[in-house]
Structure 1
Amino acid sequence: MQALIQRVSQAHVTVAGRETGRIGAGLLVLLCAERGDEQAQADRLLAKLLKLRIFSDAAGKMNLSVQDVAGGLLIVSQFTLAADTSGGNRPSFTAAASPELGLRLYEYFVAQARQLHPQVATGEFGADMQVTLINDGPVTLPLRVATG
């Protein structure tokens, strides 16, 4: 399971002109489930995400987590993170979880995030989404936990 994390001053997602999620300062989480992933990978990724120290402290050092700063989480499904671009010019997505597994793990991840963090917004799994964000820093980091 993997995610691309962007520290944002604000972000929102819309589907067909309807806003499905919005946060102020916090993290935009582009989340990808891969073949073989299970709830254990989602749990480990979420634990790492919530404790990742990428917000500035009073001295300007990245020393605080999203929980420390009471920031929001905007979690958006993003199967294209599993792309393999090593052969040819058309990406392959064979490493991505099936839509059924992807949906199950996405919903699980969001439910667990809502139990552990007070401010969680989402996109809509499988939808054509438009994500608008102001990347703060910019700070953009990949997070990955191994299957198994």
Structure 2
Amino acid sequence: MRDYDDIAPFLGTWGPYQRIVFLVLAFSILPNGFVGIYIVFVGDTPPHECLIPEEYNISEIWREAAIPMITQDGGLKRSSCTRYRVDTLRNYSMLGYIPNVDVNMTDIELESCLNGWKYSKDIYQSTIVTENSLKM
């Protein structure tokens, strides 16, 4: 078996060409690092809740009550995965009932987010998650 030092002399010595290639490759490391960390920001899922489309004609008070409150991390927050059944809410809204006064909200059946989600824009204006959900 031959030694590397015996085989490599045809490559030449360390000269200007080798320095240029080395520097170009070294500078390419910086943008590659930014690409690697980029996904942390564009791939985040912002806070969200079920979307209640405008065409359901639900009053504003019923629209606010349409998302159930859940306990998470020791506090109350709006659910991001469920909503009260929208056709039931529309009927109560058209009758002029007031949520939690005329109607006990816990008696209304829950459903999943059938129309997609409404995302918070407090932190990010757009992420992969929010853009992908717009194409649904």
The question of a shared fold, defined as TM-score above 0.5 by the shorter chain, is answered with: no
When you count helix as a share of all residues, which structure comes out higher? 2
Higher gyration radius (CA): 2
Structure 2-normalised TM-score?
Answer: 0.24
Structure 1-normalised TM-score?
Answer: 0.23
